[in-house]
Amino acid sequence: MVFGYHGVTDYKIGNVHRKGRDIMVLSAPTKIVFLISLVLAALALIASFGVAIPVVSGNALWVALIAYAVLAVGNLLKGV
């Protein structure tokens, strides 16, 4: 696993060749990470409408934030 930030000084995006700038390299999350994030976000949304889901109902905001964090980590770390 490589963290998403690389100090590249010479890179190409599409047809544009840029020099001397650092870029943040993001990758698509794996299907399992995306599905975990999606399920957590769906549970938080359902719980926020009043459906009683153990553990999630009282913590819907935190579950939604965890879903977002899981997805962000999946984008920042290559191969996750």
Q: Write out the chain's pLDDT in tens, 80 residues.
A: 455 555 545 555 555 555 555 567 788 899 999 999 999 999 999 999 989 999 999 999 999 999 999 999 999 888 77
Sort 74 into a burial class: Cβ within 10 Å, 0-12 / 13-18 / 19+. buried
Confidence (pTM): 0.68
Contact 30, 79 (CB under 8 A): yes
Amino acid at 57: S
Query: What Å distances lie between residue 58 and 9, 15, 26, 31, 68, CA to CA?
Result: 48, 50, 33, 28, 18
Delimit the domains of the chain by residue range.
Answer: 5-76
